[in-house]
Amino acid sequence: MPATFASFSRAQKFFAHVKEQAAGLMSDEHFTVDGTLIEAWAGQKSFRRKDDGGSGRGGDFHGESRRNQTHASRTDPEARLYKKSAGQESKLSYLGHTLVENRNGLIAAAMTTQADGRAERDAALLMLYELTRKPSGRITTGADKAYDTRDFVDTVRELGVTPHVARRQHGAIDQRTSRHPGYAISLSKRWLVEKPFGWLKQIGPLRKVKLRGLAKVDWLFVFSCAAFNLLRIPKLQAQTA
């Protein structure tokens, strides 16, 4: 077994073991999904044209259009130039994704992907699919407006999940969903998904990773999410004792 795959497997096994300790503390019906930018351990000057023949001319990129299709980092080729919202500076990054349950804000699933415009929705579908493989009742997932697309909403419904996604103009969510009281409750719980991201970046090691390559960044992200749960669980158990 390759070392990177073995490390990934151990991280997910550790995460699953920590989740078992949270029995009774996690909702099995209501969730929120979101993604966060993870700055890669690669400088902007390393982002050079793929066809420059190693000349090193890519260090001077003023006036040059830099795109992931034509450029790549020499120090971390799997990182992607990306910004999560308009007005932000594009940085070499990965995306970390979490599925958080809405009772206490514990992380129910975690994974990392390369950064692109579809990654957040694709990762959400993968995590929800794994969640729905276990026999249970119908579940809901909250999300911000970036998830209000026809393909995402339709696929979530096919999985048996009710999409409580914030509405955007001409989006896929209509009043058939938004009129129900549960929709407003899910939107009011969306802040829970931001709490782990704040901890992972302010206290944990995810503001700017010091590892290179998707497999290693994913290993660090999943282990860090397990650590967040591990710290929260005793406090929650004490509150419910």
**Residues forming a β-bridge with 187:** none
Inter-axis angle of helices 119-132 and 150-158, nearest 10: 10
**Residues forming a β-bridge with 143:** 165
Helix (H, G, I), strand (E, B) or coil at 45: helix
Mean pLDDT score of the chain, rounded to an integer? 88
- Please compute the mean of the pLDDT values over residues 9-22 and round it to a whole number: 93
Per residue in 189-237, pLDDT (tens digit) is 999 999 999 999 999 999 999 999 999 999 999 999 999 999 999 999 9
Inter-axis angle of helices 214-240 and 194-202, nearest 10: 110
Give the pLDDT confidence score for residue 57 in this predicted structure. 52
Helix (H, G, I), strand (E, B) or coil at 93: strand
Inter-axis angle of helices 214-240 and 3-20, nearest 10: 10
Lowest mean pLDDT among 68-77, 104-113, 165-174: 68-77
* pTM across the whole model: 0.88
Question: Which residues have C-beta within 8 Å of that of residue 81, sequence separation ≥ 6?
Answer: 47, 66, 67, 68, 71, 90, 91, 92, 93
CA distance 233 to 25: 8
Q: Is 80 exceeded by the pLDDT of residue 62?
A: no
Per residue in 134-175, pLDDT (tens digit) is 766 789 999 999 999 999 999 999 999 999 999 988 889 888
Choose the most confident range, by mean pLDDT, from 41-55, 64-78, 102-116, 127-141: 102-116
Q: Which two tokens stand for residue 145?
A: 């407006």
Is the Cβ–Cβ distance between 134 and 112 less than 8 Å? no
Q: Is 70 exceeded by the pLDDT of residue 2?
A: no
Domains defined for the chain, CATH in brackets = 3-38+101-240 (3.30.420)
